[in-house]
Amino acid sequence: MPIELTEDESSMLAATDRFIEREMKPVIGNYVREHQFPTPVVEAFAKAGFMGVAYDPAFDGGGLGARGAALLAARLAETEPGFAAIFLCNSAPMTVLARFGSDRIKQEWLAPLCRGETLASFGVTEPHGGSDVAQIKTRAREDGNDFVLDGSKVFSTNAGTPPHGVTTVVAVTDPDKGPKGLSTFAVPVGTPGFSIGKPGRKIGWRIAPSCELFFDGCRIPKTAMIGNRGDGLKQILTTLAIGRVLVAATALGLTRKATRLAVGYGSGRKLFGHNILQNQGLSFPLADILTKCYAAELMIQDAAQLVDQERPFKSQTSMVKLFATEMAVEAATLAIQVHGGYGVFEEYDVSGLLGEAKVLTLVEGTSEIQRLVIARDLVEF
């Protein structure tokens, strides 16, 4: 590890390692094979306080910021990337609440999330919107002291799971104001008019279900609004930019796992009279991956520090997300190649890593979106 950890970070990672050994490793493979949400493992993880590691201790968080959360995500992904996905997808709505919510709404939702009493999902992407989040169509219509929501969302990870208690939803409150007419709301599970579709089976994030959300005359009080009316787009873009640090950290953990599996298998495999890792066709690409891991870890910690210090971070988080997720795809592909024919059989852990890595290049903005964000800064370079 090329960075120096604080005492609190070291303690958190030690606790994470104990949790992984006792709670995750014995059972997580069964959930992955069945594409099932690991309810008891997630509940134990949440109740141990890990979900709140980044947030203000005043709301029962751990106070370790984006850097602490990135360290945690990477460590989880070294064992199971899908579990890290559950953590990072819960972190997105928590970040909205933490950065933009009033103290009242933080006490109502952020504190219980930090304590692990419930789980959250993020309702942003819509069926016809994709990466163009400014084109959100879900409507929040004022009616007395309430707003009435109508519309739908897709790809809401953690929605519909047993611990799921709330979703943060971005909707149009002022249609005549364009992108400045979006606002964000906390909508509790069970609110009349709010329903959740069934999850589909994915090539990655197999234990982190992603569902559609439906709002049909869903009535919520005006006090459910998070932050200021009209700030929805700013909140989305800020939250996605911060979330890219955790996606990159998950990619780093996945890359470490892929490399470990490749070296473990390759070191015991002989062909044509010698170990296959003596072949530069395999050892040199692995050396490149190790080099990229080193760079990615430094980039992640730098970007996380920018977030924690409230310095400009948008381009940097896009850079690290782009670099780390494409590195993960490269590492997963190489690890399968090292395994040869065995690499495509589900009995081998390496077989699922390519799908897990590919998902990371799509969430929180595709690789193309990251390049677009970065390219906008060329003038200032």
Q: Which segments within the chain are labelled E, that is strand?
A: 119-123, 139-143, 146-157, 164-172, 182-188, 194-196, 210-221, 225-226, 270-271, 274-275
DSSP code string of 140-178: EEEETTEEEEEEEEEEEETTTSTTEEEEEEEEES-GGGG
152, 213 Cβ separation under 8 angstroms: yes
9 carries an active-site annotation: no
User: CA neighbours within 13 Å on the CB side: how many for 56?
Assistant: 13
The b/e string for 350-373 (b: 16+ C-beta within 10 A; e otherwise) is bbbbbbbbbbbbbbbbebebbeeb
> Which DSSP state fits 277?
G
The catalytic residue among 78, 80, 126, 364 is 364
Interatomic CA distance for residues 98 and 71, integer angstroms: 19
Interatomic CA distance for residues 25 and 27, integer angstroms: 6
The b/e string for 243-271 (b: 16+ C-beta within 10 A; e otherwise) is bbbbbbbbbbbbbbbbbebbbebbeeeee
- Listed in sequence order, the residues at least 6 apart from 56 whose beta carbon sits closer than 8 Å to its beta carbon are 63, 98
Residue 376: Cβ within 10 Å count: 12
Catalytic residues: 364
